[in-house]
Structure 1
Amino acid sequence: MSVAHGTDSKGWVLDFKQFLVVLRRRWLTVVLLIVIALGVAAGITFTRTPMYESKAQVLLTVDVSKASDSYATYFTVTQRATTYAKVAKSTELAEEVIDDLNLTITPEKFADRVSAEVVEATSLIEIKIKDENARDAQKIASAFTAQYTDYVKNLEQLTGTEAAVQLKQTDQATYNPDKVSPTTLLNFIVAGLIGLLLGIGLAVARELLDRTIRTADHVAELTESPVLASIGFDGDIRSAPLLTDLGGFAARTEAFRLLRTNLQFIDLDHQPRCLVISSAVPGEGKTMTSTNLAVALAQTGRNTLIIDADLRRPRVATTLGLDPAIGLTTALVGKTEIHDAIQVHEASGLHVLASGAKPPNPTEILQSKITHDLIRRLRSSYDMVIIDAPPLLPVADASVLAKLADGVIVVVRHAKTTKDQVNEAINRLNQVGARLYGVVVNMVAKRAVGSYYYYYYEETAPSGRGKGGSSGGRRRA
């Protein structure tokens, strides 16, 4: 029994932690709903006319000398007290008070400003009158109480009962200079609580309906392959896209060192020598990932080649500051020898095979035997070959290339790529028998970096090159 209880407790703790993570992630939604609720409360509170209140009390009495049964007398007083408390809001009584004081208000609205309640365990009736002016409230309460006692007396005479009930005023109408409505503090407290509850509810609902990849658990739902690294969002990526543009201890540099290190532990018996980097859909950052991973590998002294096999939207060469016109396609059609088509990125020593001229039939070119033979020859000449492939879902190019490589790394964009897209991309790889080595989560918000669990240990990396490293290159001799 104790084990089961421990399991339940642990599960509850995990659920509570997840709840806190949701609140941390969706805090803006909660704050926005609270602000909206407070805004509504402020609008209602500050546009309503302040109301003041005056109180008076009357006592129900009975002539016991005329009563034959004490219990019946008590029952009569109790019942009459409840009845006469309701009579206080009658339209007829309101008309009499309005005529007496020459008020400019309808009987219905006047009745809304009147309340009468029986004081618990007594035969006292407390009368409350509200008005826009504190002195007027007291004046109206005094006149109303007098009219009320006469009105009840007339009703008792009509009943003709033996033990007639009488009303006697015990407390004069009070003067209260403090407004009773709107209650500013209470309104804001209630609005804040309502906004908080609505905000939490909306945050949880958004989380349950959100199908994007946000945590390592989301990746684990789709594949047993690990999260190899998470790369934080960097606003300077346009001006400094490469690791050679960053300091050795920059967050992005450390993320790619981690990715580089984790690749060594993917398969200890068969170290990968050719990797395809792709994504489910465009805009996930797969070119930046493949380029910087290749740079990180080259910085360790490994003979590394990156091939820009995205023949539709090539970006590797321009990212590295190299010539995109000569590369894979020009070598395949025989316009250039492969050793002349390969360029070298001087800042990192990375070898680069650009895409070359854009062909009209990219898929057919990548499926051709000459392309397969070329990639096999290149992988035997380098310690590591990185292939930047097109996204998996729009075209079949990445699936074709995946069969030639040792495995595939899929790049997903944090809070952008959906689970359905990733699942379909994995299915495409499974259909061609490709091996998914792992997932890289890209553009992770700073507050969400801790949501990813790394499966391996990070190496002690050497110092990176200083900022401002050259992006220029030369042709391989």
Structure 2
Amino acid sequence: MDLRTHLAVVRQRWWLVLATVMIGLGAAGLVTVRTEPLYTSSVTFFVTTQSQGVTDAYQGGLFLQQRVKSYADLLTSDRLAHAIVAAGPVGLTADEVRARISSRVEANTVLLRATVTDSDQARSLRLTEAVASHFVSLVQRLETPPGAQEPPVKIETVSGPRVSADPVSPRPARNLAVGGVLGLLLGIALCVLRGLIDTTVRDGATLQQLTSSPLLGQIPWDVEALTAPLIVGAASQSARAEAMRKLRTNLRFVDVHESARVIAVTSAVQGEGKSTLSCNLAISLAEAGWQVLLVDADLRRPKIAQYLGLEPGVGLTDVLIGEVDVADVVQPWGDRSLLVLPGGSMPPNPSELLGSKGMADLLRALRESADIVIVDTAPLLAVTDAAVVAVQTDGVLLATRHGKTTRAQVATATEALEAVAARVLGCVLNMAKVVRADSYQYEMYRTVVADPPPAAPISGVPAAQGVDWPGGAELPPVGAIGDEPGPPRQDSRTVSATPTQELTRIPR
């Protein structure tokens, strides 16, 4: 993953970064509130010695610089702490006094600073005064040679004791800044880590590479689809509906030399939106003037009739076992040229039924009775139903859900289609994340441009000849994406659907 990919991952998971920043700020605030305030007081000593002449002064300076380092350790020694405690009650033990004293030597100087840190401001000042008094006395005793009156080293207090007016700890501004920065870094790290270990498909380029097929569409995520999955009514002007129209257009140019009139729609696993995609693709094709037949071949979990509000009791299963004629169970939908063949009864052997000669004969009959046949099938990795149906169609459309389907699942599904030599027309990334700028541009365009008139039938498909399907739905003659107009059809004909039934188009 390059830098741009990392930035894209962080942008996609901005909420995680925001959450870690808020956690960092909250933790910093909690620490600030619960931390006991600390005050400091300090005193600065100047160390000097008697010298004569420049040479003595230089040598004396070197001597004092080395000596001052020893005095810094003496400030935090047990002997000084015991001397302070013995001089008067301070409410602390010698160890506690020693722990509160710190020392620092100013670089390349003979200045020595002692700092006392305590939660009690007044006690901090008293301890510093005691340090200033007892430290000078201690050094004089230690440095005075036996029999001498004065030590060769002299220590004077040049600054302090002085106590801070405000506590040095905690520092709210600093703590919050540190907490926010740490939260930001943690959030970015988690996003990048999540991106590195995330094996789901999150962009069209990855899906196209995995399937080795063209990316025909990216259907954006729309929260309204949870309650209104179909692109009808107000949803017909949404970005989701426009994406379906782009998918419809792209299907025209998949292969102009070998048109696909019977298209299976499948996915790798359950819950990728393939049934909704099948319905909306059929609606979109019908809007363009095509005569569309939508077949629910997912006999294990049929959803087409439920989405379209049709009677699901009798359908494909009943046709395949010879109980009803296909013309009696096909249901028209809406005012569009869309017919629906529901799944029907739940069979005990869906794979055998879908792979039977009756299914192959039925698809051949339906091919001659509609411009486009959309077949919704079961997921590829769950059962073999989709692979069985795929070999009987002109091509397969593979739907993949953004952020849910893994790359391994897509690769396995593609291998399953290749194993049966099924023709993969292309792939669709469903519920994709759309760049906000693109969505905004579409909404602006939709609000300022009047709705175009209803689309005319695609070139190559002649107008309806005036024939009816039993049940009242008008059917134009057969056409295919990219096909040239064929010779006029007879007003009445009979097509073999299964060995035991016939599918009839009757003139008005």
Compute the TM-score of the two structures, normalised by the length of structure 1.
0.88
- Determine the structure 2 residue equivalent to 1:399: 387
- Determine the structure 2 residue equivalent to 1:313: 301
The answer on whether the counterparts of 1:240 and 1:246 sit within 8 Å (CA) in structure 2 is no
1:120 to 88, 99, 107: 107
Q: Deviations along 1:184-213, whole A, 9 cap, x unmatched?
A: 211221222222111111110101111111
Q: Does 1:109 align with 2:124?
A: no
Matched positions, count: 449
The answer on whether the counterparts of 2:293 and 2:372 sit within 8 Å (CA) in structure 1 is yes
- Determine the structure 2 residue equivalent to 1:48: 35
- Determine the structure 2 residue equivalent to 1:82: 69
Distance 1:89 1:476 in 2: 102
Q: Which residue type is aligned with residue 439 of structure 1?
A: C
- Determine the structure 2 residue equivalent to 1:255: 243
Q: Which moved more, 1:58-67 or 1:415-424?
A: 58-67
Q: Which residue type is aligned with residue 121 of structure 2?
A: A
Q: Which residue type is aligned with residue 204 of structure 2?
A: A
- Determine the structure 2 residue equivalent to 1:174: 162
2:186 to 181, 198, 207: 198
The answer on whether the counterparts of 2:354 and 2:389 sit within 8 Å (CA) in structure 1 is yes
Distance 2:93 2:216 in 1: 76
Displacement of 1:160 after TM fit? 9.2
Which residues in structure 2 correspond to 1:212-227 (within 5 Å)?
212-227=200-215
1:373 to 352, 361, 376: 361
1:57 to 34, 44, 51: 44
Q: Which residue type is aligned with residue 417 of structure 1?
A: T
Which residues in structure 2 correspond to 1:291-302 (within 5 Å)?
291-302=279-290
Q: Deviations along 1:37-79, whole A, 9 cap, x unmatched?
A: 2222222221111111112111111122599955543332111
The answer on whether the counterparts of 1:116 and 1:125 sit within 8 Å (CA) in structure 2 is yes
Displacement of 1:329 after TM fit? 1.5
Distance 2:281 2:424 in 1: 17
Structure 2, unaligned stretches of length 5 or more? 440-449, 456-469, 474-508
Distance 1:370 1:381 in 2: 17
- Determine the structure 2 residue equivalent to 1:148: 135
Distance 2:454 2:353 in 1: 38
Give the secondary-structure state (helix, strand or coil) at the position aligned to 2:345.
coil
Displacement of 1:163 after TM fit? 7.8
Compute the TM-score of the two structures, normalised by the length of structure 2.
0.82
Q: Deviations along 1:340-389, whole A, 9 cap, x unmatched?
A: 12111123231111111111000001111111111122112221110000
Distance 2:6 2:171 in 1: 34
Q: Deviations along 1:93-122, whole A, 9 cap, x unmatched?
A: 112213334122233332222111111221
- Give the root-mean-square deviation of aligned CA atoms: 2.7
The answer on whether the counterparts of 1:290 and 1:386 sit within 8 Å (CA) in structure 2 is yes
- Determine the structure 2 residue equivalent to 1:422: 410
The answer on whether the counterparts of 1:229 and 1:256 sit within 8 Å (CA) in structure 2 is yes
Distance 1:160 1:265 in 2: 111
Question: Against the structure 1 CA distance between its residues 188 and 415, is the aligned structure 2 distance closer, same or farther, given a 3 Å change threshold?
Answer: same
Q: Deviations along 1:284-329, whole A, 9 cap, x unmatched?
A: 1100000110111111111111110011111111211111122111
Higher relative contact order (CA 8 A, sep 6+): 1
- Determine the structure 2 residue equivalent to 1:328: 316
Distance 1:347 1:164 in 2: 112
- Determine the structure 1 residue equivalent to 2:258: 270
Q: Deviations along 1:17-50, whole A, 9 cap, x unmatched?
A: 3232122111112122222222222222211111
Distance 1:475 1:106 in 2: 101
Question: Against the structure 1 CA distance between its residues 29 and 391, is the aligned structure 2 distance closer, same or farther, given a 3 Å change threshold?
Answer: same
The answer on whether the counterparts of 2:397 and 2:425 sit within 8 Å (CA) in structure 1 is yes
2:16 to 26, 29, 40: 29
The answer on whether the counterparts of 1:53 and 1:131 sit within 8 Å (CA) in structure 2 is yes
Structure 1, unaligned stretches of length 5 or more? 1-13, 452-459, 466-473
Q: Deviations along 1:381-400, whole A, 9 cap, x unmatched?
A: 22111000000000000011
Distance 1:135 1:196 in 2: 40
The answer on whether the counterparts of 1:290 and 1:388 sit within 8 Å (CA) in structure 2 is yes
Distance 1:344 1:426 in 2: 34
Which residues in structure 2 correspond to 1:121-136 (within 5 Å)?
121-136=108-123
Question: Against the structure 1 CA distance between its residues 449 and 363, is the aligned structure 2 distance closer, same or farther, given a 3 Å change threshold?
Answer: farther
Give the secondary-structure state (helix, strand or coil) at the position aligned to 1:172.
strand
Distance 2:311 2:355 in 1: 25
The answer on whether the counterparts of 1:98 and 1:107 sit within 8 Å (CA) in structure 2 is yes
Q: Which residue type is aligned with residue 243 of structure 2?
A: A
Q: Which residue type is aligned with residue 106 of structure 2?
A: V
The answer on whether the counterparts of 2:274 and 2:399 sit within 8 Å (CA) in structure 1 is yes
The answer on whether the counterparts of 2:268 and 2:409 sit within 8 Å (CA) in structure 1 is yes
Distance 1:160 1:271 in 2: 117
